[in-house]
Amino acid sequence: MDAQKAKVRNGKYMKVKLTKILEMKRAEIQGKLEVAQQSFRKELKQTSVFTKNHPADMDNPVATSINGARIDNLLKCLKKIDLALKKVEIGTFGMCVACSKQIPLGRLEVIPFTDYCTPCKTEMGHT
Ligand SMILES: [Zn+2]
């Protein structure tokens, strides 16, 4: 058994697998984004009726709307996924930013754009 060859093959497999996970997540978020944008447009139509006399409320509808906040959040996720896809391409994806260890695939499947492995994240007091 040629260990080096096996490692390369494994790396290639991981790359394909990770790209698939990220692309699936991307499609999922894009779907959610479309729904949120539709709700947001509806919301804007409704609120513009009620806030006609309070133009100040409409200064920043994105900041004051739940759907606007959701859209903002989803766009951030998309950016993270794009960045992660680039990382997969150059081979640095799935590495914990804090301890440089490989983040377990199971964790990446749940949160593909995480920067930290579970122990590091737990240490920082997040989940
Ligand atoms: Zn770590």
Does residue 16 sit in the same domain as residue 43?
yes
3-state DSSP assignment of residue 74: helix
- The more confidently predicted of residues 118 and 12 is 118
Does residue 59 sit in the same domain as residue 70?
yes
Q: In sequence order, what are the residues at sequence separation of 6 or more whose Cβ sits closer than 8 angstroms to the Cβ of residue 17? A: 105
Q: In sequence order, what are the residues at sequence separation of 6 or more whose Cβ sits closer than 8 angstroms to the Cβ of residue 63? A: 69
Q: Which of 29-33, 56-60, 83-87 has the lowest mean pLDDT?
A: 56-60
Does residue 105 sit in the same domain as residue 127?
yes
In the numeric block, which tokens belong to residue 41? 């447009």
Distance 100 CA to ligand 1 centre (A): 6
Does residue 71 sit in the same domain as residue 24?
yes
**pLDDT tens sequence across 36-55:** 999 999 888 877 655 555 54
Please give the model's pTM, rounded to 2 decimal places: 0.68
Distance 116 CA to ligand 1 centre (A): 5
Q: What is the pLDDT of residue 78?
A: 94
The average pLDDT across 21-33 equals: 95
Name the residue range of residue 109's domain. 94-127
Distance 9 CA to ligand 1 centre (A): 25
Residue recorded with tokens 């790396």: 11
**pLDDT tens sequence across 61-101:** 555 688 889 999 999 999 999 988 998 888 888 889 899 99
Does residue 28 sit in the same domain as residue 57?
yes
Distance CA 108, CA 114 (A): 7
Residue recorded with tokens 């609120």: 47
